[in-house]
Structures are given as structure tokens and as C-alpha cells.
Structure 1
Amino acid sequence: MFILKRQDVEITSVQHPKKDQQIPILHYQGQTFRLISVFGAAQEEDAKAFWRDLTDNRGKACVLLEEPDRYSVWGKVRLDQLAGDSADPQATSDATTPSFIQASLLLLQAVYIDIEDLLGARQAGSFQKEIEGVFQKGQFPQAGTPDAVHQLLTVDPLASLQVPPWEEHHLNMLLQELYRIGKQHFGNASFTGRVMDVLQDMPSGDRNQFVAWLKQSPTGKVWQA
């Protein structure tokens, strides 16, 4: 639909109708858009490919926002629709199921454990601080303090009664940053195969759903390599 610059738009937020969190809303020429996915500054091609897939192949009304430190894709939504929480799920940013959040946390914990086992406690501490920065930048709910992050890194998400209320754009950002940071620590991407093995701990139905989602997500190809 459009590729826009930050000065072209206004970004505000509204209260989620069912969760204790704010939803970013982009305003452009009387139209409103909800955040779907966020990409790093070096991921221009990935962002454009994801945006084109939504607009050309899936017929979604989306905009691509170019900013100095990131790219983001936004799907058109009516605010009255949003208030009723009945917006098209493919054009909004709701995470599909809690099991996707559990799977993403399993991958996060597997990278953390791998770094601690193979590279030592100092590197693991550095990794935790980098992940804290990712959570702060992405405004992840229930991940705003070092204690909360430590809990996310150490408590089995499959045994937890409640997972954080993250949305799809949070998962995309976490997985792209987790890959980048892991590659930085290990020097290559060979860690992804070891890490993906942790998904065997999930029920097969949940695992298959997550892997299918991962294949179509903007960051999935690096984890599937």
C-alpha cells in the first residue's frame, strides 16, 4: 500500500480491550493502522518482502514505516473494530496462541543455557543484559525489570500457569534479536539446530503449529536453515 517516513504519520496508543496494555496505533490521512511486525535497521529487504507478501499475496491493507533505527509493518484497522476486539487477526498483531509464546521462551532459554554451558557465566550475564535491552526497546509486557527477565530465562514456560501477554510483533522481534545476539556470541549460526531441538519438549500439535507459523514469519527462515 504505502512506504512512509516517520514525519508522514502520527503514532498514538489505545488501551487493549481485554489486556492491561497499550496498543500502538499509526494515523495516516484519516486512516488507522495497528502494528504487525518490527524489523531492525539492517533488515530493510526482509521488511519489504514481508510487507509485499501481505499486500500483494494476502490482499491486506498495510503500510511500511521507515525509521532511522528500524522498519515496521502496520495493518489497517478501524478503532471501533479494535474496541470490540473483532479486528481481522491477520491484519493485527495478536499472537495466535499462548503456545507460540511458550515456544519462543523455550528458544530463548535454550540459547541462554547454551551460552552459559559453552561460553561461561560472564557471557551468559552479558546475554541477559542484551535481552533486557531488547525487551525494553520493544516494550514487552511483564519483562521490564532484571528480575522479570531472569524469571523468563529460568522458569519452564511449559510448567507455568501463565505466559506473558505478548503479541505477534513481540515474538518476531524477540526471535530476530535472539538470532542476532546468538550469532554474535557463537560467531556463526550453527547454534540454531541445537536450540530448535528444545521444541521436542512441547506437545506435538503445539510444536507443529509453531513451526508452521515460524516458516511464514519474517524471521523464520534463519531458524529453519
Structure 2
Amino acid sequence: MRRTGCALQDPGLTDGHPLDDPDAAALAWHRSKHGADHAAGFDRLVEGRLQIAHVRSWPAIKDLSRSFPQLIAERRFHCLDNVLLLCPEAHDLYDGAGLFGTDLVEKAARLTWIRPEAREPLLRYLYATVEAHAGHQTENTNLLLAAEILRSTHNVDTRQVVAAFEERCQVAMEAVERGDHTKTHRGDVAVLSMPKWTPELAGHPGTEPVQTAQ
């Protein structure tokens, strides 16, 4: 996703925004800065400086989730809709100076995942999650959100993923009823009990492409 650059460069951000929008001046400066970087041939350098930013800070998320267990707050904080790539300058203008509004940055995060370039990273994320690669922890919220984005925006049939998720939930529920918590910790060991989701279903290079919805 780093090839797409800073999320605040997305042209869709200005759709429907009035000319006197309070974010307009900061956004105009930000885009002129990236334009100058491009003209000077600094694109590759800028990509290497991109940072993972959060739409809502950890304290804000904890406050929103204060009536729920800590894990709920963590899931909200790491939700796909709450993260995006920003250049250091945009990150500072948002987190430090507050020159960009939360609504603008939240919209940038949503637009990130509907770009054509997001299709393969989302598929790789699903495959790594379902297969629990390298200890990759299952995150139910992001698993289903990624599947829904792929289905609704990228025309990918994700029924196998949803079915695997439902099977995992059933396994976890039965484990709880038996008093077996080994399948319900945050790493979700129950993922290993899911029907095998092969690379072919993820459309990885060298395999059959994912079946698209009709």
C-alpha cells in the first residue's frame, strides 16, 4: 500500500467539500508539498517515510470503550477503518497541531481500502489471518471488514472466508460450553479448527484467481 502514498493525497477527499472547509488550507499546503516532492524526484524517499497513523487516538478509543473489556478497545483501535498511511508532515499536522479534522482523516482511511491497489493486500491479510501464519492473531472485526470490502468494492467472492469464520465461532462457542478456554484466547487457537482455506481461494500469484461475484 505504500505505493499509493500518503492517504491525504486521495482526490476523493475533496468531493462534496465546500470551498470554505476549515481543512482546505492545510490540505492545499499538504498537496503542494507532495507535488514539489514529486517534481524533485523524491517519490521513493517519501514512500519510505510513510507512517501508520490512527484516526482516533488510543485515549479516545479507550474513552469510547470504557464500558467494555480492554480487548474491545484494542479491536476498535486496530480496526482497518481506524488506520491509514500518512507522511510524517500530515501525521504531525493531524496528531500534533490538529489542523486536519477527524472526519477528513476518517474519510481518507475509508478511501484507502476501496482503491484498486488495496485488493491484493486485503486478500493477503485474509489468507494470513485464516491460516494463522507466523502467529498472526485472528481479529474478527478486521477479518469480516476486509471480507466485506473485498465483496462490495472489489467484486471478490468471500463466502469461503465468512463460512470459515462462522465455523471458528461455532468451535469457540462449543469450547466455552465445555469450559475449554484454550480455543478462546486472543490469539484464537480455534482458527486452526477452521476448514482449510487454501492459497487458491486468496488469488495468490501462481494459483487460480478468486472467483468473482456474478
- The answer, yes or no, to whether TM exceeds 0.5 is no
Q: Which has the larger radius of gyration?
A: 2
User: Scaled by the length of structure 1, what TM-score is found?
Assistant: 0.26
Structure number with higher helix proportion: 2
Greater strand share, structure number:
1
